[in-house]
Amino acid sequence: MEEILNEIYAIGAEDLDIDLFESQYPVEKGVSYNSYVIMDEKIAVMDTIDKRRTEQWLQNLQAVLNGTAPDYLVVLHMEPDHSANIEKLSEMYPDMKLVGNARTFTILDQFFFDKKIAADRRITVKENDTLPLGHHTLQFIMAPMIHWPEVMMAYEQSEHTLFSADAFGRFGVPSLTMNEPWDIEARRYYYNIVGKYGNQVQSLLKKASALQIDTICPLHGPVLHTPLDSYFHFYDIWSQDIPEIPDGVLIATASIHGHTRDAMHQLAAILKAKGIDVKEIDLTRTDVSYAVSAAFQYGRIILAACTYDANLFPAMEAFLSHLETKNLHSRRIGLVENGSWAPQAAKLMKNRLDTMKDMQICDTVLTIHSALHHDDLDTMHKLADELTA
């Protein structure tokens, strides 16, 4: 653990063994569960952590406490990667009070119903309520749906620090990813985890702009220090669903035996020759979370899929389902299908896209019969032109 600011310590833990974060996201460089403690006249612990690292977290906490006891456990988010140790900590420190909002306690009672935490141990806060700790004061900011309805943030007034819950979090343990650009894994985290709730992020950013913030302490990934402009700028763009590469093309392919994929390499070359930024993703070999992140990043998308038992090849089916869940909208789309006897992937993809808002689908559809033929090249060029017009 480390004193990151005056009397504010980071006591979280890194997890490099986890196979899938939240049972779906591969995290090659792990994930951290952050937790903080403010050691003032009153002592406040800011969230607990995942049960996978309880022992280490308790050791870190007790080393900082040095025999003292926390007065408050502030619960910013009830998802178990942060709340798993609430009951345990409450039992260890019977005088410690829990600080949450009304929704926090509703969800708390669902997870921890055996030994209910007594009413007189609960402090319910609302927007802009403050909790004085000595020379530190916490001011609460409600942030519903970033990422659950009970989420709130805490602004510490003396150190100008925002405890931002899941917002501004990132995959990758800080000790291994210190020198990597922040945005790549922060983008994948954002679009897959909080991305659906851009409006709520926008209102949070409005509230944040009224505060002087020098440090952001998120619940995952590195602590962010001033200058914070680039992080706020990314969140502003991401939460408005503005594609960062509006003229670029994502080619997302679901091929079985490789012919559709080879054809898409040719299409990529045609687009690149026009000077266009192209990203190819093989949906059968790339986790869908990377493809979701790219779909939000690029303004134009080619969807290329095989017909599979009169349906869509499952990797494409899954991709479209994720995009629908995350509310992707307003993209220019080109469709490519393959079928050896009755191709219908394009029609099936179009049906899915029609349920999404403002998807502009190119009239030109490239239908490949098993393998790309010379005759198909005209259509491929036409599709490239229409997509990038």
Ligand X SMILES: Cc1cc2nc3c(=O)[nH]c(=O)nc-3n(C[C@H](O)[C@H](O)[C@H](O)COP(=O)(O)O)c2cc1C
The item of Fe ion, ligand X, none sharing an interface with residue 339, based on CB under 5 to 8 Å by kind, is ligand X
Phi and psi torsions of 207, nearest 5°: -60, -40
The answer to whether 256 contacts ligand X (rule: CB under 6 A) is: yes
Using CB under 6 A, which of 264, 339, 346, 364 touches ligand X? Answer: 339
Q: Closest CB to ligand X among 20 and 310?
A: 310
CB of 220 to ligand X, least distance (A): 37
Using CB under 6 A, which of 259, 279, 350, 381 touches ligand X? Answer: 259
The answer to whether 203 contacts ligand X (rule: CB under 6 A) is: no
Q: Alpha-carbon torsion 102, 107, 111, 114, what sign?
A: positive
The item of Fe ion, ligand X, none sharing an interface with residue 307, based on CB under 5 to 8 Å by kind, is ligand X
Of 57-65, 117-125, 241-249, 301-309, which part binds ligand X (CB under 6 A)?
A: 301-309
CB of 194 to Fe ion, least distance (A): 8
The 3 state secondary structure assigned to the chain is CEEEECCEEECCEEECCCCEECCCEECCCCEEECCEEEECCCEEEECCCCHHHHHHHHHHHHHHHCCCCCCEEECCCCCHHHHCCHHHHHHHCCCCEEEECHHHHHHHHHHCCCCCCCHHHEEECCCCCEEECCCCEEEEEECCCCCCCCCEEEEECCCCEEECCCCCCCCCCHHHHCCCCCHHHHHHHHHHHHHHHHHHHHHHHHHHHCCCCCEEECCCCCCEECCCHHHHHHHHHHHCCCCCEEEEEEEEEECCCCHHHHHHHHHHHHHHHCCCCEEEEECCCCCHHHHHHHHHHEEEEEEEEEEECCEECHHHHHHHHHHHHCCCCCCEEEEEEECCCCCCHHHHHHHHHHCCCCCEEEEEEEEECCCCCCCHHHHHHHHHHHHHC
The answer to whether 197 contacts ligand X (rule: CB under 6 A) is: no
Give the N- to C-terminal CA distance of the chain in Å, as an integer.
54
Q: Closest CB to ligand X among 131 and 315?
A: 315
Q: Closest CB to Fe ion among 93 and 105?
A: 105
Rounded CA separation 302/205 (Å): 33
Residues of the shown chain interacting with Fe ion in the complex, contacts defined by CB under 5 A: 79, 81, 147, 166
Q: Closest CB to ligand X among 6 and 284?
A: 284
Interface of this chain with ligand X, residues 345 to 384, rule: CB under 6 A: 370
The answer to whether 6 contacts ligand X (rule: CB under 6 A) is: no
Q: Closest CB to ligand X among 157 and 340?
A: 340
Q: Closest CB to ligand X among 95 and 309?
A: 309
The item of Fe ion, ligand X, none sharing an interface with residue 246, based on CB under 5 to 8 Å by kind, is none
Rounded CA separation 350/356 (Å): 10
Q: Closest CB to Fe ion among 30 and 299?
A: 30
Using CB under 6 A, which of 17, 341, 357, 374 touches ligand X? Answer: 341
CB of 338 to ligand X, least distance (A): 4
Per this entry, what is the length of the chain?
Answer: 389
| One-letter amino acid of 70 | P
Query: How many CB atoms within 10 Å of residue 198?
Result: 19
The item of ligand X, Fe ion, none sharing an interface with residue 255, based on CB under 5 to 8 Å by kind, is ligand X
Q: Closest CB to ligand X among 158 and 311?
A: 311
CB of 75 to Fe ion, least distance (A): 12
Interface mask (CB under 6 A) for ligand X, residues 214-253, using x and -?
A: ----------------------------------------
Using CB under 6 A, which of 307, 346, 366, 372 touches ligand X? Answer: 307
Of 18-26, 144-152, 339-347, 353-361, which part binds ligand X (CB under 6 A)?
A: 339-347
| C-beta of residue 254 within 8 angstroms of C-beta of residue 305 | yes
Q: Closest CB to Fe ion among 147 and 322?
A: 147
Using CB under 6 A, which of 120, 342, 354, 363 touches ligand X? Answer: 342
Binding site for ligand X (CB under 6 A): 255-260, 306-310, 338-343, 370
